[in-house]
Amino acid sequence: MKRLFLLCLLGMLTISSLHAANVVPQPPNINAENYLLIDAASGQILAEENVDERINPASITKIMTSYVVADSIAKGRISLDDEVFISDNAYQAEGSTTYLEINTRVKLIDLLRGLIIQSGNDAAIALAEHVAGNEEAFASLMNEYAKELGLNNTNYRNSTGYTDDMHYTTARDIATLSKALINDFPVHYAMYKEKEFTYNNIKQSNRNNLLWRDDSIDGIKTGHTEAAGYCLAASAKKKGMRLITVVLGTNSAKARINASQTLLNYGFSFFEAKTLYSPGQTIFEQRVWKAEQENVGLSSKHAVAVTIPRGRYQDLKISSNIPAQIIAPLSKDSVVGNLEISLDNKIIASAHLYPVSDIEQAGIFKRAIDSMKLWFAD
């Protein structure tokens, strides 16, 4: 009897331990005006505070500056080998600088490193003038990109992050932009991990001190003005998951680093990322009527990814909403159903379902037979 009691007690402790292992504590307290922690694959928010409040982003602005430059390179408008003229306007830039010399020409790749690693305002202005003619036109271009990327609470007035009442963004928009830069231009993004850059015989270190703390951290950008406080957007990849943090309005460079590290530690400790389906991967097979083929594969055009508490993968529930009758012809761009992923009766991800390929209509004889079958089925 005593042995049975001990076995039962051991079983209860084991079950309790399993549940405890899956418990996710509340997000840590962060000493910042605004902050956000997201998984880059799913976009799921893991911790947040005032993420839609408009703030001055200071030099975090330069993420968009570099995004516009990277896209201009990708489209062949400019080249990394371009010799960029350094105007008086760029030379006179205040604040952080790459120490460019007036009326000289500098390779565009060096300006990019000056922008990203040294946070050079002179490099930002020189790049803006090279891409768009002047900084005002470049700011207009930045705003066009912001619209395309869905940055709904963002407006740019310059390429540097100089304080301006009409120059603003939000923690949410910064995270969205950071994710886009990482995904769209991975080779360009690799520069954000470089720890130092020497130009004009002056060596300067990357202002993102997180790069020296943890090898999993590979970007992205600091910012500081009196209006903005000390800010940092950061990203790290570990355990098969990429996280992005945005910390705004702290009171010191050390505080922004510690806050970002705390958020990253929380995310990696208690969550895991799973990509359930790749773009174009067949998720379901469904009968298709009035077509030569009997079945059609259904897929999502985008990766279906989730971020869940560690150890909860087996608890995911997958459901779909697909019409009983799918009738040809069908374009591969036609939405024919929906996929939902849920955990603990809460939908955590969803996706439209499309045919994996165009479905042509069958000949008249096959269509007639299927019409009769459908009539009797009704």
Between CA 161 and CA 5 the distance in angstroms is: 67
Torsion over CA of 333, 334, 336 and 340, rounded to 10 degrees?
Answer: 40
Task: List the beta bridge partners of residue 35.
Answer: 49, 247
Q: Determine contact, residues 316/341, Cβ cutoff 8 Å.
A: yes
Is residue 16 part of the annotated active site? The answer reads no
Task: Report whether 314 contacts 292 (CB < 8 A).
Answer: no
Provide the residue count of the chain: 378
Can you tell me the distance from the alpha carbon of 206 to that of 96, in angstroms, rounded to the nearest whole number?
12
List 42, 62, 260, 299, catalytic entry:
62
HSE of 276, CA atoms in CB hemisphere, 13 A: 23
Can you tell me the distance from the alpha carbon of 14 to that of 9, in angstroms, rounded to the nearest whole number?
9
Contact yes or no for 267/39 (Cβ under 8 A):
yes
235 given a catalytic annotation: no
Q: Which of 42, 59, 72, 96 is catalytic?
A: 59
> DSSP characters for 47-85?
EEESTT--B--GGGGHHHHHHHHHHHHHTTSS-TT-EEE
Q: Look up 59 and say whether it is catalytic.
A: yes
- For tokens 């997201």, the residue is 38
Q: Which of 42, 72, 96, 119 is catalytic?
A: 119
d(CA 88, CA 101): 9
Catalytic center residues: 59, 62, 119
